[in-house]
Amino acid sequence: MGVREGFEELYGAAPQGVWAAPGRVNLIGEYTDFNEGFVMPLALPHTAVAAVSRRTDGVLRLHSADIEGPVVELRVDELEPLTNTSWAAYPAGVVWALRSAGHPVTGADLHLASTVPTGAGLSSSAALEVVTALALNDLYELGLTRPELALLAQRAENDFAGVPCGVMDQTASACCAEGHVLHLDCRDLSIRQVPFDLSAHGLELLVVDSRVKHALGDGAYAERRAGCEEGARQLGVSHLRDVAYEELDGALSRLPDERVRRYVRHVVSDDHRVERVIALLEAGDVRAIGPILTDGHVSLRDDLRISCPELDLVVSAANAAGALGARMTGGGFGGSAVVLVESADVDTVTKAVTEAFAAAGHTAPRVFPAVPAAGARRLS
């Protein structure tokens, strides 16, 4: 049953519209967003799809076809941050963020279903938030831009649901374009669409879901973030974005703490990797980004130390089987990796990774191609 039919069955009337918002993978640029640096995500073909109608009586009704349980019913004027720990905190948080910003959202009925794998580092939560934000923007004729919707969605996740994250995930879901990777400058939030037509080059980007669940809330994210802020403070800059790659060695020699040095080296070098990837993609030399992806993984593994054995195994097994490059992607400690491969080598590389997981006794990974898809949109 589609979301339109599901909506009618639940709420007894047709929805006023249906919207979709994708999950994302980050090609390169990890833990750089809160350092006001660069990230480069692309939208996945997997989407959260929501059927929505507006209401004028202050009632918010939420339902997910993917979650067991009844319709969640809330009042928009009683939404309180950090009080709802269920999935409904994400769409409810968007309503709260819109209302907190002064937008007159007076209620909604929403029913959604999503094909974005959850907890795999592919931003199923951002897809949920952005699809809600876009639907309400259209239904209430708020006239907000995509980047503005992304910021409100981030606010919903940070302040209402209580999950710390940068603005990359929501911006990717809201702003990506088909056949492109998005270059986001996290300082001024300016965006640029960089062509990423893999099939024209005989290439594929595989997403390998390690099936290890990440838990960003366990303090590791906050610890890395604090370490980066400490590094910036000791170097006398507002954010690590301001340390030029050419000055990295000198900057590192001024940092007494080995841990802070590693974090700084990761962030400054990953910003530089983003710039090199953009230059190569714009020159049409897509294959040459492979080794940069692998360098990025080594940096996340050895300097930032946010990888895990399963993600390291994806990268080593894929590269040994002829991949052009690979790296973990997202918050780390599990989740997914991306692997750049020749189209002709997809089966060989997939088999090699799957067999390596079996030999190590890990749960079988899930492998699928990341075809750069469109950002959030109205479907009907």
Residues designated as active site: 169
159 touching ligand ADP, by CB under 6 A: no
Burial readout 14-44 (b: 16 or more C-beta within 10 A, e: otherwise)? ebebbbbbbbbbbbbbbbbbbbbbbbbbbbb
313 touching ligand ADP, by CB under 6 A: no
- Nearest-approach distance from CB 64 to ligand ADP, in angstroms: 3
Q: What gap in Å lies between CA 256 and CA 75, rounded to an integer? A: 52
The residue (of 218 and 257) whose beta carbon lies closer to ligand ADP is: 218
Q: What part of residues 182-221 is at the interface with Mg ion (CB under 5 A)?
A: none
Whether 314 contacts 326, CB under 8 Å? yes
* Residue 95 structure tokens: 């309503």
The residue (of 130 and 206) whose beta carbon lies closer to ligand ADP is: 130
Site stretch for Mg ion (CB under 5 A), options 40-48, 77-85, 121-129, 245-253: 121-129
288 touching ligand ADP, by CB under 6 A: no
128 touching ligand ADP, by CB under 6 A: yes
299 touching ligand ADP, by CB under 6 A: no
Mutual orientation of helices 309-320 and 346-359 as an angle, nearest 10°? 140
CA atoms within 13 A of residue 213's CA, in its CB half-sphere: 5
User: Around Cβ 359, how many Cβ atoms within 10 Å?
Assistant: 10
Candidate list 26, 84, 114, 125; residue touching Mg ion; CB under 5 A:
125
114 touching ligand ADP, by CB under 6 A: yes
Q: Which long-range contacts (CB under 8 A, 24 or more apart) does 254-258 make?
A: 255/231, 257/230
Binding mask 50-69 for ligand ADP (x = CB under 6 A): --------------x-xx--
3-state secondary structure of 196: coil
Candidate list 125, 173, 210, 329; residue touching ligand ADP; CB under 6 A:
125
Residues contributing to the site for Mg ion (CB under 5 A): 125
Query: Which residues contact ligand ADP (rule: CB under 6 A)?
Result: 64, 66-67, 87, 90, 114, 118-125, 128
